[in-house]
Every structure is written in structure tokens, then in C-alpha cells.
Chains A and B, each alone.
Chain A
């Protein structure tokens, strides 16, 4: 089986802080990581590879050249192949254009199963996976926690909702989107890193994909949504900070607020 996993290199948003003076994001020095949901996708793919003979796992990422190190990390986890899709012409793509480009690349590489993360922590849109599936005309199941093989032609997956699960049988070719937090993705191994060192990340540019792409549907031109502006959330008006109170005084202060707020 040929499994393709889409992944994205993202800034570790849990490390993002606001500059207290300028109230802007301090992006400097923030670590780049493999998006956690994507990492869960890689883990699922590697588990399937362990269970199923003649299975290869290929990671695909669209992003700048720096994303190569994230792909190397995926190779070090045990993936067989890596592709980086990068071109100036792809810049400014929204989720729809991004999914169009990725779909073209995935088609070119060929697949039985595509796994993507549910969403990226820098954008949180959860759109690219289902959109890729639509472009490729294959079914998708999103919010998947567990994947198991069922016979020669299908998977059984556990699909999470807020209030329930669906156990779903889905036939190949298909796309699933994986959620992190259910079973830790494996660590790299030191040996894996040295193995990955020997493998090359393959590159796809516009030229490689143009036979599958319509210029009107990529980049800024192919993006129906535009960011009009972005801003840091307004800081709340300063509250009261009480220091050096006895616990009695503290309780009194809290009770006063609870009364004021009609909570009591």
C-alpha cells in the first residue's frame, strides 16, 4: 500500500508570547515543529506500515525551503520518502488554493491512502484535508482517532464527534484526517536521524505540477478569501491586583466581587 501523509512545519504556538511593551507577537526564536495533528498522521501511517507488508509512507509538505528539516524529521521517524512543494507562484494561497496544489502533487506521486492532520496549530482551519479529498474525488473521514486495516480494500476508523464516535469502514482510495492526543507519536531515534541524513528530500515546483494545475486556481489569484487586516487582541482593561492580604482579607475581597457581579 502507498500511504501519503501531508504535513506542515509550524511555529510552536505554545511558545508564542506577546511583547508586553509593544503588544506585538514575539516571533523571534520560536521553535518550528511538525504540526501535532500531522505528527499523529505520520504515527498512524507508520503503524499501518508495521502491520501491512509492502507499505511505503511518503511525507509531503508545501512550504518554504526551511521546511526541509521537518521533512527530515519525518524521515527520521521512519518514513520512506519526502517531498517538498515549493514555488513562488504558490505564495499567497488560501486553503482552497493550497488544497488544489497539494491535490495535484499527491495525484502525481500516486497513492492508496492519504493521511493529513485535522488542522494546523498556526491556522486552525481544518479545511485542507477535506478539500484535497474533494479535488481528488475520493471519500474522506475527518477527526480520526484510530485506524485499523480491514481486508484488502478498506480501513476501519474511529471518527470522533463532540458527543459520540462513529466506527466507520472506508474503502481505498480515501483520505483521513488524524487528531493528536490519542497515543503519543513515536520519538525519532538517533539511528533514524542518521538514516534520514542519507535520504534526499525531493522537490516539486510549479514546473513539475503545471500539467495538473490551472493557473487561475493557485496562489493569490486562486484564493477566494483574502485577509483584510489582522490585529492583536485588545488588552483588557487593567484589573485590581491585591498583594500582601491575609487570607481573611482575600476572602472578603473575593466575596465583594461575587456580590457585585450578582453571582451570590
Chain B
């Protein structure tokens, strides 16, 4: 029987390539779904000591072949070693990075083993029914996404695009097996011989690793104008890039080309100047975090995919923007250094606020953000602050790391609790979650991964829940001989009804984000990389409205949730009346009558 997820570990000069860590992370998640193990296959020369690190990043076993012939990549020795390992171990799945090495080795192996290979995947998924691997890849110049299956052949092989999958948090305590395998290379002839290894000059920065990218297209016009983009990039600490037109005009180097024929990037910020947004350019940058486009032509397709589009001339905007950014940085205005994210000595959560939005991030990624007493107390402390902080209108609750929102309560800490302590922790969590629910602010849960047990209960204490397609939900307490204790038996039935609530709690089953959406547990399911953006957009959308009204509406809905209709209507009547006591409603209604946009900012 085929089993386990194998990952080809790519090393160059003994250095493990990032894509391999990414694949270990993805393999861990697939392995969980299949209840199988992750095996890294490391080929190289003098690389034995690297194996341990692979385990820290998710491998349960590392098989390595150490031989001088594997020093530099050559197709045949690598193919021979990997084929031998596949034949001896019969893996269920084999993942290879879609690099110029992986895309050379992969097809050679697939033809040798006679199995299917799907190239350049951007997403992998285990079909819950067949347990087969669904591989999604772009085709037709990135215009079309195809989902591909390899039903009857094993291993199911995929090369995976670098930079797409998430690396796990390093866990030095992880244990695994390290196994050396001997391969006989004596029959490798001299048909292919490396005469020389020429390293490319390191001067060229890899734009795929840049956090901020300032990119220019045909509309930049001249090489001199491109200098402006360079200055903005250096002011922000980012890199410049260009569309094919800019590269062809020789304004920017070829290795900085973004798009179907260039690099695929997903920086936190992508500023496009004078780029019309031809589809093949968009294919290379559309997954960027924040996309800002400046273009003279208001019909430029780039605006269709940008978060903020400015119709105008970048030549006049950029110099001022550069000054503004320099000023903001010098004065430290609104600038939060990463280290200052920790708030008031809190250890397990990050808290910060910006322009009316606050972020509460459960930050114990190594423990999948499991809730312990201290974490709950710290959430309580944030609630204390927010109850009094009128500058914050929306709170976003999320989990750190790529895998979990909150995977549950910290069971290892509960093992030794007595009855009193058990009661106390439930009381504490229930009261903190209730107060969170009743905050004047709108609370949005951004659920990026596991929301199990206490995690699901925390999510349910949010007003609105948005899930990444990777998220999974469940109340598995009965599997431990417990019942949900942080509000699960009560809040779940109020959201999804008693019937489904009982099924979930009685079986302890985990459900997918899609299923959670179907039953109404979450409002939307979005691509993992889009989660932050969608949640931020939602917050902005809400904040464009009269916030006094929004808060009153929240109050009215919350109070009415647990009482009969007539009493509820009385509450609504009370809060509606309340609206007329403030200026905000006057502004809103007069703006409507005067056919203009209301200005709620001053209220």
C-alpha cells in the first residue's frame, strides 16, 4: 500500500532552499488529512547535518543520500537516487519544488515510474471522499485554473510553485527519524559532464522576496522617470520591478519583470505606475497584499484588480509621496515598529490599532495558538481597554502563523485541574468571551486555520466570522470526555440551530470552511491570501457608515438575541429613538436628501 507524503528537499551548495520548507509545511497539512507521515528526501554531498532542521519544520522522517556525485544538480544521479527511494518506499504523494531543478527532475521521474505529474501547482487539497490529491494549477497563460487528479497511479506527483505554500513555525522539540540510504552510482557514465559552474552575480535582488514592490510599465515613458520609482522603492525599503514593456524598453532589468513571462510576486505592497494591467502582467502580481495603481487612463484594467486606484500622473504624485513617506518615517508618526506590537507586557497576544481598526492576534503559533489561562486573561485585558477606547470602531481577531486561528484550549494544562479549577477556567473564559461579544465595537473574526473547541467558541463570540478556505471548525470536547465549556453548547445552537449543533458536538467531527459556510457558521470563505484584505475591506466598509448607528444596531441585535420578539422590538424601538438624539443621523439623512456623500467622520 502506498503511504506517506514525500517531499524532495532541494539544496544548493548545501543550503536547503526555501521552497522545501514550504513543501514540508504543506505536506504536514496533507498528512494530517490522510493521517500519514511527512518524509523528506534529501540528496546532496556532506548534507547529513541538515536533516535535523527538516524535522523542526515538519518532517517526520528524513531519508538522505550523501554522495559527492550529488554535489551539483545533475539529472541522472538525482533521478536514480530518487527513483530508488520511491521504489523502495512506495509513497502516496511526492511533492517537488517547481524550480529549474524540480521541473527537470519531476518529469524524468514520472516517465521512469510511469505515473502522473502535475506541474507548477498553486494549491493542493485532499478530497475528503476519495482521499485523492486535488492539484490546482494555472494554465492558458494564467487565465485558467485547472484542478487535476491522478487517480490510479502512485505516487501522485506535483511540482509546486515556490512562494505559495506556508512554512511552519520552527519547532526545535519535534522528533523524527533520520535514515541514510545508499545508492550505487557506479553505472552513471560520462554522457553528461559539468564543465563549469558559473554563479550568477548576487547583485540582482530577487524581487519575489521583496516586501514592497514599486513597478512601472509603458506609461512610465522614459528611463529618467523610472528613477522616481527607484527612489520611492528605496524610501520604502522595497524593490523596483516592471512590466514586459518596461523591460523591453530597457528601463529595468529583465530579472525584475513581473508577469506570466517574468516572476510571480506577492509582496505586502505593490504600487503599479503607468501599468495598464494586461492580463499577463496581472497574473504575476494579483496576489499581492495591498495593490495601489496610478494610471492616467481611467479605463486601465489594472484598476479592476487594485485595492486603491488613482487616476492621475505618477510623475506629479510620486515626488510628493516620497516626501510624505520620508516625513512619516522621520517623525515616527503612525509608525509601529514590529517589536512594539507587544502591548503592555502581554506575552501571548499582539495588539495594535490603526485608524479606528484594532487587531487582536493570538500569538502562540508553535502551540497552534491554543488558549491557556494567561492568554484568556490577556484577551480580557484587551477587552478592558476597548470598552473605554472610543477611537476604535472595529476589532479584528485573528491567529498568528499560517495554520491555526485557535486550535483549542491548552489540554496539557487542564490535565491536572481539580473541580474548582475547572469551574474557574470556564467561568473566566465565558465572561471574557461574553464581554468581547458585547464590546461596543464591531468584532470580526478572521479565521485562517483551525478553530477547534475554545477556538470555535472564541470565533463565535465575534460578531462576524470570515474564514480562509484552509480553516477547519469543530467542537471535539467529547472525544476527551468533556463538553464545550467556553460557550459552545449555547452559542453554536444560536448560530446553526440545535440539530447541526448537536451533531457537531456529539461527533466531535471537524468540518471544512466550505461546510461551515453552508451551515451559516461563517459569513464568507475566501482564499487564504485574501483573508486579511477581505476582512480589512469589510471593516472599512462598515466604518464608512454612521458608527453610532452601527453600535446601536449591534446592541439591539445582541440584546434581542436571547429574548422574545415583542421584548426585542421594544429594544429596537428604544435604540431607534436613540438615533435621533445625535447629529450623526441628521448628517446621514440630510446628505441623502441633498444627494451627496455623508460625512460621518466628525461624529
Contacts and interface: CB of A to CB of B under 8 A. Distances in A.
Interface of A: 11, 13-14, 16-18, 25, 94-96, 99, 121-131, 133-135, 139-143, 156, 160-171, 174, 181, 217, 223-245, 247-248, 250-251, 253-264
B143 A13 contact: yes
Contacts of A254: 292, 308, 310, 317, 321
B196 A167 contact: yes
Nearest to B291: A239
A264 B338 CA distance: 11
B200 A131 contact: no
Contacts of B141: 13-14, 16, 121-122, 124
Contact of B312 (A95, A96, A141, A245): A245
Given A171-B191, A239-B303, A247-B317, 18 more contacts: A25-B143, A99-B107, A122-B141, A123-B119, A124-B139, A130-B104, A161-B99, A167-B195, A168-B192, A232-B145, A235-B304, A242-B310, A243-B298, A250-B317, A251-B320, A261-B289, A263-B268, A263-B269
14 contacts: A127-B103, A139-B191, A143-B100, A165-B197, A168-B194, A171-B192, A247-B313, A247-B320, A250-B312, A251-B321, A254-B310, A255-B328, A259-B355, A264-B334
Interface string B319-339: 011001100110000111000
Nearest to B139: A123
Interface stretch (B60-68, B150-158, B405-413, B574-582): B150-158
Contact of B116 (A223, A253, A259): A223
Contacts of B305: 235-236, 239
A160 B104 CA distance: 11
Contacts of B191: 139, 170-171, 174
B236 interface: yes
A244 B540 CA distance: 22
Interface residues on B, range: 35 or more
B86 interface: no
Contacts of A241: 298, 303, 309, 311
B537 interface: yes
Contacts of B199: 163-164
B309 to A, nearest CB: 4
Interface string B258-280: 00100000001100000000111
Nearest to B134: A228
Most A-side CB within 10 Å, residue of B108, B151, B313, B530? B108
A253 B307 CA distance: 12
Interface in B68-121: 72-73, 75-76, 99-101, 103-104, 106-108, 110-112, 114-120
Contacts of A133: 108
A160 B75 contact: no
Contacts of B534: 237
B210 interface: no
B335 A264 contact: yes
A94 B116 contact: yes
Interface of B: 12, 72-73, 75-76, 99-101, 103-104, 106-108, 110-112, 114-120, 134, 138-153, 190-200, 212, 236, 254, 260, 268-269, 278-280, 286, 289-292, 294, 298, 303-313, 316-317, 320-321, 324-325, 328-329, 334-336, 352, 354-355, 357, 527, 530, 533-534, 536-537, 540
Given A25-B143, A125-B120, A242 B354 contact: no
A31 to B, nearest CB: 13
B560 to A, nearest CB: 30
Given A225-B149, A233-B145, A258-B269, A96 B117 contact: yes
A53 B98 CA distance: 39
Contact of B12 (A124, A163, A242, A247): A163
Contacts of B334: 259, 264
A123 B140 CA distance: 6
Most B-side CB within 10 Å, residue of A168, A171, A227, A247? A247
A162 B527 contact: no
A96 B100 contact: no
B478 to A, nearest CB: 35
Given A130-B111, A237-B537, A262-B354, A227 B317 contact: no
A168 B72 CA distance: 12
Contacts of A122: 139-141
A239 B298 CA distance: 13
B444 to A, nearest CB: 15
Contact of B310 (A163, A171, A224, A245): A245
Nearest to A260: B355
- Please list the 4 inter-chain residue pairs (A to B) with the smallest Cβ-Cβ separation, ordered nearest first: A13-B141, A224-B116, A134-B111, A225-B116
Contacts of A236: 286, 304-305, 530
A141 B116 contact: no
A103 B527 CA distance: 40
